[in-house]
Amino acid sequence: MRHDFWHERWEQEQIGFHQQAINQYLIEHWEELGLPKGAPVFVPLCGKSLDMLWLQEQGHPVFGIELSRKAVEAFFHENDIEPCVNETDRFVEYSSEGITLFSGDYFTLEQSDLGEIRAVFDRASLIALPAAMRRDYAEKMASLLKPGAHILLITMQYENGLLEGPPFCVEDGEVEALFGANFTIEKRGTWDAEGPRGVAVKESVFLLTRH
């Protein structure tokens, strides 16, 4: 998937994937990770998600990465936060007290950029990527996390042909194939939900722990 696809989506405000409320699965399942306050967390392909504010309110330093600079700037502007901005060869880094967002390519991240992340919240990252990119995504994630770190992962399933994606359909077996070599995988459940354009979908919640 080309970078300009996502830039165009944000420029044209075609952001139906953006949620106007805190994700309910995050609220219901986050405590299951057993993280202490102060444990850093990471939100990949974060957009301008309000989930990051909720995570900060739980006492976690939050790191995120988003390809669209417009989305990152919108997050800070819409939440009345004045960030410090620092441009490097790989990213434009926006930071405020407790939240640091990188505008740039997820696949160029290094563990040293994030430090020792203790958990990841992935609501709309894996399912935003076409199948050909998901293996590289999972391997990069494994390289960013140390043993004991967790991922709270949300996937979406729907009948073939109902949606073109993104979001893309990711079945349970693919989660195992992508992450099983590096993570212990526990499925927390599957629930009926309403997807884009009112399409009936199923959403699944997984807790992954890095070996």
- Give me Rg for the CA atoms of the chain: 16
User: Tell me, what's the pLDDT at 163?
Assistant: 87
Q: Which domains does the chain have, with CATH numbers?
A: 3-11+21-210 (3.40.50.150)
Give 192's strand partners.
202
Collapsing DSSP to helix, strand or coil, 133 comes out as helix
The string of pLDDT tens digits covering residues 90-120 is 999 999 999 999 999 999 999 999 999 999 9
Note whether 158 and 201 are within 8 A (CB). Answer: yes
Note whether 153 and 122 are within 8 A (CB). Answer: yes
Angle formed at CA 43 by CA 186 and CA 108, multiple of 5 degrees: 110
d(CA 74, CA 48): 7
User: Tell me, what's the pLDDT at 11?
Assistant: 54
d(CA 209, CA 98): 24
Backbone torsion region of residue 183, taken as left when φ is above 0, otherwise alpha when ψ lies between -120 and 50, otherwise beta: beta
Note whether 87 and 95 are within 8 A (CB). Answer: no
d(CA 104, CA 90): 7
User: Tell me, what's the pLDDT at 15?
Assistant: 46
User: Tell me, what's the pLDDT at 59?
Assistant: 97
User: Tell me, what's the pLDDT at 198?
Assistant: 87
Written as tens digits, the pLDDT of the chain (211 aa) is 555 654 465 455 554 454 678 999 999 999 999 999 999 999 999 999 999 999 999 999 999 999 999 999 999 999 999 999 999 999 999 999 999 999 999 999 999 999 999 999 999 999 999 999 999 999 999 999 999 999 999 999 999 878 887 899 999 999 999 999 999 999 999 999 998 888 899 999 999 999 9
With 0.75 as the threshold, say if the pTM is over it: yes
